[in-house]
Amino acid sequence: MTGLAPVNLAVFASGTGSNLQRLLDLSRLDELGGGKVVLVVSDKPGCRALERAEAAGVATFAFYPKAYPDKPAYEREILDRLREHRIDWIVLAGYMRLVGEVLLQAYGGRIINLHPSLLPNFPGKDAIGQALAAGVSRTGVTVHFVDEGMDTGPAIAQEAVPVDPGDDADSLAVKIHAVEHRLLPEVVRALCRGEVWLENGLVHWRPQASGGRGICGAGVLGRQDQERSRGECAGH
């Protein structure tokens, strides 16, 4: 990426930050299509994700939501930090709060989220537990653009994960995390290279960028293809 300005990324996380760590590692190796993780934001001061960021020498901002009168108040402070670091894209990787109007207005179409299911199936918390309770034969991973709803934004990429007989929450989580650690960087890399974008509520890929792979494989695909494939891969 010699001669080109880096694409500045902020990663939001609330927990252990295993997906954050993957992005930090690739950022350090210059393997995110020009993307650089320059800020980590968390609503859980003291969480492992913040420790990972600090160990990597990346700036952090942690806040207690209850210390603010409302969501707009703390999002305005987050926005100040994003502007300070000239953030181009926000990546939600285990961030357990809905993004509000302040950030959506400032970064609409530039916020993505990682979710451990084949959306629209099993949105919200404990998607792995929801999948097990439903008895489906497969679940998966989705990376999607963020809108005002809970896991309702247009999907950028999805990959199915089989639910094997005898799987429990721990064993299924291991399989899902393995896919997350590959799929999220693929999408971030494509975004930083300008290979995928959101326009008029639809996801667009530059020709050849997605490799023609479908949702049932190691898939990256746009929203229209997902509509055709959803019935095949939802698992119920």
29, 58 Cβ separation under 8 angstroms: no
- The catalytic position among 85, 115, 144, 236 is 115
The residues, ordered by sequence, that sit 6+ positions from 177 with a Cβ below 8 Å of its Cβ are 18, 19
| Nearest alpha carbon to residue 141 among 189, 78, 186 | 186
Residues in the annotated binding site: 17-19, 71, 96-99, 113
| CA 136 to each of CA 62, 128, 129, 159: distance values in angstroms, whole numbers, following the listed order | 37, 11, 11, 15
Residues in the annotated binding site for (6R)-10-formyltetrahydrofolate: 71, 96-99, 113
Active site residue 236: no
| CA 30 to each of CA 20, 189, 207, 208, 221: distance values in angstroms, whole numbers, following the listed order | 15, 10, 24, 23, 24
Active-site amino acid positions: 115
